[in-house]
Structure formats: structure tokens, C-alpha cells
Amino acid sequence: MSLTGTPFLLTAVVVAVAALLLPLFLWSRIGGPAVVRGASRLLMLLFAQFTAILVVFVMVNNANGLYDTWDDLLGTGNHVNAAPDLGPDGTGGKKAASAPKVKQTFKEYKGKVGNGVMKTTLKGAISGVEGDVAVWLPPQYNDPAYKDKTFPVVELLPGYPGSIGAWFGSLHTQRQLTPMMQRGEVAPFILVSPRTTLLDGRDTGCANVPGTVNADTWISVDVRKMITDNFRAATGPEGWAIAGYSAGGHCAAKLAIAHPDRYRAGVDLSGYNDPAAEGASITAHDPKLRRESNPLWILKNATTPPHTSLFVSGDLGDGYNDGLALKKAAKAPTTVHVVRLNGGGHRSSVWEHQVPDVFRWLTKELGQAGRVAPANGI
């Protein structure tokens, strides 16, 4: 039974109700010695509490897209087949553009993610990562008038833990954007959400760590190539952006700054610069990794200022101050737009309300590439 499906939620509710009614009917009917009666009653109370907690967990999980599968929850999934040292640029000397095309089969993504979302399981040829990728196509994509056009792309990253359906289900991104795209208010972006929970009980920090995981390459090379090989998607950095919230916001800022040859813009919602803000991050406990995974450090130590733009939002102590630090360090052509939130907490409902403004900003920042371009043969 699916962890996020309605049947499991209904089952949990029914069991919780039964567990509540059980003591009412059996409390005074339990026989035997006092120790047996006491132990039986205690077990009934503990069972009622457990089932109540289970219902709350399922509802919170469904609302926030924390765990997509039982393997994610139990930490039993294995998504790293290999983790070779791929060097500074994360490609291991391989040229993704000249590699054979990666053709994928997509199926409907069932669950609480809304309409039109597809998913596929991708084996990353360079990263050694294997995982699901969710894709949503804009309303214009299948319009005959756009059959010769390529579309801009935004990769969407959840927090940690988080599922590939979080932006579609919890933040209702495509539901909000569809009418805006139809009105021409925002560009018809292809939305892509790759799996980011790759290690059992640990956050990758979207980093490449030889021998452990190549999460950076998975997101910025393998997933990117798969999209351009299977859809009429932009191929140059001017047609690509990356967005995330919480731990995903940290990743988005880091990847946009580190790879201006792959992304023209990054969106960081309530993220952080120092990886130590997420205690489960594999980059937080190694001094070198911690330093080199900090987008502020990357920005300050770049050989030349990266040609990328950042949208950073958050409250005091929850992303805003980190955004100001990035803005202060930025030099042209790097730009950083910082938005201060006034309360609301570190939660999906806050980020959901930001979706329209974020995509208006992305449309503006990507310029003509944020619209649609003539097909380039991909």
C-alpha cells in the first residue's frame, strides 16, 4: 500500500478510531490477575496513542511531501550505484552533449500531485545515481502552434527529507502556473523535479563526494541531459533555472552559482548558506566540504563573477540574512534579489504563496529564453 495514497490514510483513520473505541468496550471486561488487567489496559492506551500519531504523521507527510515511499521513510532505498571522482566540473572528462541520447519512458505520476505530472526512473550515466524524476509540461507544449518551439526549464528541489512530488502536491505549482501561462503572464516553463533523497538518513547537500554520492552531477548533468534528449527543451544555460526551498534552496543557490554554464538563474526559498544548518547533511561535518559547499564561499572565490541571478527570500534567521550576505558579495554580472518575509514560519504554505512571484521573476530574468525559442533539433 502506497505511503502517500488515500487508501493508507483512510486505513490509518479507521484503525485510530477502532483503537479509541476498544478501551470503551473492553476496559471493565478484562479478566485475570491485576497485573494482566493493568498490562492489557496500558497496551490499549499505547495502541490508541500510536494510531493517533500515525494519522497525524500521514496527514503531515501528505501535506508537505516529506517521504514519497516506504523506502524513503525507512531509509532502505539504494539510489547510488557508483560514486567515482568526477573532478572539479563534475563530468569526469565526459561530454554529455556528445554522448548517446537518453530515451526514457514516462508514466502518470499517481498520488496527491495534481494533474499532468509524469515520472520516469533515470539511471545517471555520469553520476552513478538512479532515481525517479517528475516532469510537467506547460499547456503550450502540445499546442500545434508551438510544435517547432523549444521551452525553458526549471528544476524544482524539495527540502530534506522531501519527495519529487512536493512542488506539485504541497506547493500546487502547476495548478497556480497554468492560468498564468495561458494568459502570458509567465513563460511556459517545463518543470522538472529530480529525486534528491539519495542516501539513507543523510542529506546529500547536492554535492559530489567521491565514494559516497555524486548528487551535483545527478541534478545538473544527468537529469539535464535526459530532459533535453526527451523534450523540446532549451539546451543553453540561458533557458535553464533551478529553484528550491529549505535544504533545496541551499542546493539551488549553490548549483546556480557554481554552474553558470548550466543555469542562468536560481531561486532559494528559506534556504541557508552554511551546510551546517542541516545537521544531516554530509557536507556539514567535513571542514573542506562545508566550506566549498557554501554558496557564499563559492561566490567570493569564483575566478570571475558568475553570470547568474538569484532570488532569495526568507525571514530573519531563516534565509533573509544569508540572502543579504550573498547580495553584498555579488559583483556584476551576478545579481541577487532578496525578499524579506514577515512571519509564517518554515512551512510549505509560505513557499506556496511565493510561487507566482518566483515565476514572474524567472520569466523576467531569463529574458527571451524565458519565452519560447525556435526548435534547435533536440
| Residue 376 pLDDT > 70 | no
Question: 157 Cβ partners below 8 Å, 6+ apart?
Answer: 193, 194, 196, 206, 219, 242, 243, 244, 245, 248, 249, 251, 252
Q: What is the pLDDT of residues 227-257, one digit of tens each?
A: 999 999 999 999 999 999 999 999 999 999 9
| Residue 308 pLDDT > 60 | yes
Q: What is the pLDDT of residues 164-184, one digit of tens each?
A: 999 999 999 999 999 999 999
pLDDT number for residue 13? 81
pLDDT number for residue 14? 82
pLDDT band (50, 70, 90) for residue 11: confident
- DSSP classification of residue 100: P
What integer best gives the mean pLDDT of the chain? 90
**Cell output for 76:** 532502505
Q: Is the dihedral of CA 157, 160, 166, 172 positive or negative?
A: negative
Give the span between the Cα atoms of 58 and 90, in whole angstroms: 37
**Cell output for 370:** 524565458
- The average pLDDT across 110-130 equals 93
Nearest to 3 by CA among 38, 12, 187: 12
- The average pLDDT across 326-350 equals 96
CA distances from 145 to 17, 45, 227, 316 (A): 54, 63, 21, 46
Write phi, then psi, for 336 (nearest 5 degrees): -135, 120
pLDDT number for residue 10? 75
Give the span between the Cα atoms of 95 and 231, in whole angstroms: 20
pLDDT number for residue 72? 62
Residue whose C-alpha cell is 506547460: 138
Q: What is the pLDDT of residues 196-205, one digit of tens each?
A: 999 988 999 9
pLDDT number for residue 369? 65
- Listed as own residue / partner, the contacts of 335-341 with beta carbons closer than 8 Å and 24 or more positions apart are 335/309, 335/310, 336/309, 336/310, 336/312, 337/309, 337/310, 337/311, 337/312, 337/361, 338/312, 338/313, 339/311, 339/312, 339/313, 339/314, 340/313, 340/314, 340/315, 340/316, 341/270, 341/313, 341/314, 341/315
Write phi, then psi, for 153 (nearest 5 degrees): -130, 140
- DSSP classification of residue 101: P
Q: Is the dihedral of CA 62, 221, 152, 265 positive or negative?
A: positive
Judged by average pLDDT, the poorest of 9-23, 152-166, 280-294, 322-336 is 9-23
Element (H, E) at 92: none
| Residue 210 pLDDT > 60 | yes
